[in-house]
Amino acid sequence: MEKEKNNYSDYVCPNCNTNGMRVFYEVDNVPVHSVLLMPTRDEAISYKRGNIELAFCNQCGFISNVVFDPTKHEYSSRYEETQGFSGTFNKFHKNLAQGLIDKYDIRNKEVIEIGCGKGEFLTMMCELGNNKGYGFDPAYVPDRNTSTVKDKIEFITDLYSEKYTNYHGDFAACKMTLEHIPDTLNFMKIVRRSIADRYETIVFFQVPDMERVLSDIGFWDIYYEHCSYFSLGSLSRVFKKAGFDPIDLYKGYDDQYLMIESKPVKGEGTNKFDVEDDIEKMKLLVENFENKIYKTLDQWREFLKSKTQSNKKVVLWGGGSKAVAFLTTLGIVDEIQYAVDINPYKHGTFLAGTGQEIVSPEFLKTFKPDYVVVMNPIYIPEIKEDLNKMGLSPNILPIDHF
């Protein structure tokens, strides 16, 4: 059932510091973590929850969960965010690292990564460029890094903040982290202060593309950890306001990610790309999302209900944030029993909120699903190959099927 839409004007945009954000989408009572390993179904179902109220800024095109509470979070070694078990992702990751090294001659230098996760990207930067590294992330697990260059990297198992601005690098990266930070402009100013007058420092950030989420009515990509949502324009604008000039601004990984390469400047940045002029486009996408979201939710609910009634077995492929958002937003518990994931660290754990068990692909040999709903369509070729090897031929549905 569609909720009454609110029109608020008293929220200040954390990306540009102007008033007038408008709430356009709400989801209540969702798990505050979606990739934290849950060892039991009871813990998964009872894990703490929060609300989502997405608001759009008419001035910069930024979208924020205006009721986000960072104190609810628990970033630790239980946070299992890695995509490093996928050949598709690893190819992209290595090409990204090598491309940046070649473009900016990042060799025999010092590299910083904010939000380094399990350290895969930072380790590659050090392996491929013979660099020294510093990584910041409370979810880093030392025993899982088997690289021969790990002794050249210092990992700080903490969230990056003002107290670490004494760490300096010739290249600073931050991948899939800024979307977890509510005060985006203040955070970027911290990064800028850490660089001071080292104007040749290259700063690279990667975040999810909210334009794609809105276009696909991708409710499965809206979850509590992500409090900040960017377009190319809003990403570039916060960089310039914080004291960086964009060098390059583009999309990657089947247009799922936004990438920005930049350098620090005195005052605010001025360099501009044509793709930044997207505020009117984002306004239309927000309106389209509002108009279509509840129909999309109803289509998925009816589909899953019909499969249950006809005794068809449905599994999700991908036991991460998209699966948690998909199930909790739809309120699905009984219609789907399992989520498949190739990450062995997730096997035998349970999805936050709804409690489905995360199983290995081999489990499907005996379960024999009729439908596999793929949480990220970019992995469909990989998944089809795995299913074929097991002699299985279920119907494969991408998450953006409707």
Q: Is the pLDDT of residue 302 over 50?
A: yes
How far apart (Å, rounded) are the C-alpha atoms in residues 287 and 285? 5
Residue 392 in domain: yes
CA nearest 83: which of 96, 70, 73? 96
Residue 196 in domain: no
Q: What is the pLDDT of residues 364-401, one digit of tens each?
A: 999 999 999 999 999 999 999 999 999 999 999 999 99
Q: Is the pLDDT of residue 354 over 80?
A: yes
How would residue 20 be classed by pLDDT, with cut points 50, 70 and 90?
Answer: confident
Residue 320 in domain: yes
Instruction: Indicate the burial class of 152 (C-beta count within 10 angstroms; 0-12, 13-18, 19 or more).
Output: middle
Q: Is the pLDDT of residue 279 over 80?
A: yes
pLDDT, residue 250, reads: 98
Instruction: Indicate the burial class of 306 (C-beta count within 10 angstroms; 0-12, 13-18, 19 or more).
Output: exposed
How would residue 73 be classed by pLDDT, with cut points 50, 70 and 90?
Answer: confident
DSSP H helices in 172-320: 184-195, 210-215, 232-242, 279-309
How far apart (Å, rounded) are the C-alpha atoms in residues 157 and 154? 10
Residue whose structure tokens are 């903040």? 161
Q: What is the pLDDT of residues 304-343, one digit of tens each?
A: 999 999 999 999 999 999 999 999 999 999 999 999 999 9
Structure tokens at 95: 């090409």
Q: What is the pLDDT of residues 208-252, one digit of tens each?
A: 999 999 999 999 999 999 999 999 999 999 999 999 999 999 999
Residue 190 in domain: no
How would residue 76 be classed by pLDDT, with cut points 50, 70 and 90?
Answer: confident
What is the mean predicted confidence (pLDDT) over 44-59?
A: 96
Helices 380-389, 87-104: crossing angle, 10 deg rounding:
140
pLDDT, residue 2, reads: 43
Cα 61 to chain centroid, rounded? 18
How far apart (Å, rounded) are the C-alpha atoms in residues 87 and 117? 18
Q: Is the dihedral of CA 16, 19, 22, 28 positive or negative?
A: positive
- Reported pTM: 0.95
What is the mean predicted confidence (pLDDT) over 155-179?
A: 96
Residue 364 in domain: yes
pLDDT, residue 8, reads: 53
How far apart (Å, rounded) are the C-alpha atoms in residues 32 and 95? 33
How would residue 353 be classed by pLDDT, with cut points 50, 70 and 90?
Answer: very high
Do the beta carbons of residue 162 and residue 183 sit within 8 Å?
no
Q: What is the pLDDT of residues 121-156, one digit of tens each?
A: 999 999 999 999 999 999 999 999 999 998 999 999
Please report, in angstroms and rounded to a whole number, the separation of the first and last CA atoms in the chain.
18
Q: Provide the number of structural domains found in the chain.
A: 1
pLDDT, residue 59, reads: 94
For residue 367, give its domain range. 310-398
Q: Is the pLDDT of residue 267 over 60?
A: yes
Helix-then-strand count for the chain, H and E: 10, 16
Q: How many other C-beta atoms lie within 10 A of the C-beta of residue 231?
A: 26
Q: How many other C-beta atoms lie within 10 A of the C-beta of residue 310?
A: 8
Q: Is the pLDDT of residue 188 over 50?
A: yes
Q: How many other C-beta atoms lie within 10 A of the C-beta of residue 384?
A: 15
Do the beta carbons of residue 153 and residue 133 sit within 8 Å?
yes
Q: Is the dihedral of CA 138, 139, 143, 146 positive or negative?
A: negative
Do the beta carbons of residue 172 and residue 112 sit within 8 Å?
yes
CA nearest 234: which of 401, 48, 14, 395? 14
How would residue 10 be classed by pLDDT, with cut points 50, 70 and 90?
Answer: confident
Residue 326 in domain: yes
Do the beta carbons of residue 205 and residue 256 sit within 8 Å?
no
Name the average pLDDT for the chain: 95
CA distances from residue 282 to 256, 273, 285 in whole angstroms, order as listed: 16, 16, 5
Instruction: Determine phi and psi for 145, rounding to 5 degrees.
Output: -100, 110
Residue 265 in domain: no
CATH of the domain at 392: 3.40.50.720
Contacts of residue 104, Cβ cutoff 8 Å, sequence gap at least 6: 171, 202
Residue 390 in domain: yes
CA nearest 326: which of 229, 401, 176, 221? 221
Amino acid symbol at 114: I
Residue whose structure tokens are 């009515």? 217
- Say whether 51 sits in a helix, a strand or coil: strand
How far apart (Å, rounded) are the C-alpha atoms in residues 272 and 238? 12
